[in-house]
Amino acid sequence: MREMRYGGCIPPDLVLPWHIIGVIFLCYSVIHVGASIHDYKNEAFIPRYNSSFFFHGGSEGLYASKFHDNTTISEEKSLNGKSFIRFESITFRRTKEATNKQNEMQPKTGLIEAIIVEVKDRDKIGGSYVNSGAICCTPALAKDKSCNLGEVILRHDPDNLDWPKRIQTFFEGKNEDAHMELQTVEISSTGMYYLYFIFCDPELKGTLISGRTVWRNPEGYLPGKMAPLMTFYGLMSLAYLVLGLVWFLRFVQYWKDIIQLHYHITAVIGLGMCEMAFWYFEYANFNSTGSRPMGITIWAVTFSAVKKTVSRLLLLVVSMGYGVVRPTLGSITSKVLLLGVIYFVASEALELFEHLGNINDFSGKAKVFLVLPVALLDACFILWIFSSLSKTLEKLQMRRSMAKLELYRKFTNSLAVSVLLSVAWIGYELYFNATDPLSELWRRAWIIPAFWTLLAYLLLVVICVLWAPSHNPTRYAYSEETGDDLEEEGISLTGSGVKVAADVAAKLERKERKVSGAADHVFGLGEDLEEDKRE
């Protein structure tokens, strides 16, 4: 379960409320909680403009309920098809100093409001330009009957007077705690929703909030932007299964001609199958319970990190010509393994932080420190891979290994295309995040992580096709220099074992004819010399 804390994001000199609310949305679109059950554990309110105090209670994309009836949403049997935000065990605790100042006989001695707003209606929180950009209702505004003193100013939608949604909770007398009524707010319109707890009474400064809210979509507890990923991971699990079956059949068919590189490819396929399966079950469990299952999540994260590491190592050793132009990696083995271990540690730390880490005031900075090492290591892999490919291609050209050269050219072209696509997609990600700071395009956000998974799968398919087991693995297997080139030339020209033998025999026959002709010439020259001597 993820913990939430409201960090300081808004400069105090901002005046207009739509600026204030916009910056709040911007801050929390970056560090929003990726869970449907939001726990609050004695969290503090943060002071903002116009004597207002904010606490961000969560933000998620929610789809509209599929149907509406008079059945109580709290009944378990009525959950399917319903979308809602439920407040459970929400308790506000003010300081003892604030409590002692109150009159025991007063029924209401402090007000805290829960505001639910759709992102497109964010400008409805606070006053307009005419009202000097106030968040809380002032005596002057109350005198004009524009709002009620001490409340948050809300301008309701003319077509739906219930939105933005306001839920009020009062402190009574000298009670130190105020308990929010257990209630559920049904969502009737699809959109990105934000929840804020706000109070305008300066005497409530230091108040803490505890409890939780439950957010649910019609099909389950998965947040809207994550819901399509469950289906995607299910399809990718099937895709890896199909690839694994085809590879296994090919592997068994030509098991006598298997080389070491085939075992590495098999390992990557197996890791991919496990990774996709774990992610699918993790999302399915999340969708049914509303919280991330730590055990499955850790396994999914670990398999993901291992698979990324092994995949990059596979690309690197293939680029170095392992099993093709060199039987072993030799002295650089330790360097390759060291890079792999460092990448695994960095990738595992980043994945764990993203899926299990607590969201707090420093989450943005902490993520940068974890993302940078992974990005730098990926850059190292790319540079080393293309540098190794250049050297491998140069060696193959010098040895005139035409079949292997053609194989590596196809591999290089595929890798270059994948790198270009990656660079283009990174540019699209930056554009997407820059133009959608408030997550208004949340229904398309799932394609960002899905692209990288799909690209890795397609690149693996290319490697499987190029290095598929066959009855004649000499087209890519390492062999001694003395016969390797001759055999490869025959294969590249004909692709037939019979033709290879015929070409080799023809070459030998031509060589014998040349030797025989030279011998005849020498012998004939010797006879002429003897005849000259006789004369």
- What is the distance between the alpha carbons of residues 215 and 36, in angstroms, rounded to a whole number? 5
419/423 Cα distance (integer angstroms): 6
Cα separation, 447 vs 198, whole angstroms: 34
Q: What is the pLDDT of residue 501?
A: 37
Can you say whether the dihedral through the CA atoms of 509, 513, 514, 519 is positive or negative? positive
Gap between the Cα atoms of 124 and 119, Å rounded: 10
The dihedrals phi and psi of 91, each to the nearest 5 degrees, come to: -130, 135
pLDDT at position 69 is: 59
List the end-to-end C-alpha distance of the chain, in Å, as a whole number: 114
Closest to 500 in 3D by CA, of 492, 256, 400? 492
For position 280, what pLDDT does the model report?
A: 94
Q: pLDDT at position 485, please? A: 39
Residues forming a β-bridge with 60: 193
Asked whether 224 and 60 are in contact (CB, 8 A), the reply is yes
Question: H-helix or E-strand containing 310?
Answer: helix 294-319
**Predicted local confidence at residue 446, as pLDDT:** 92
Give the bridge partners for 116, in sequence order.
165, 195
Helix (H, G, I), strand (E, B) or coil at 254: coil
pLDDT of amino acid 488? 37
CA dist 513 → 374, 490, 503, 504, 508 (Å): 63, 21, 15, 14, 9
- For residue 520, what pLDDT is reported? 40
pLDDT for 472 equals 64
Tokens 């939608």 belong to 157
The list of the chain residues with pLDDT below 70 reads 1-35, 50, 68-79, 127-133, 322-328, 357-368, 401, 472-535
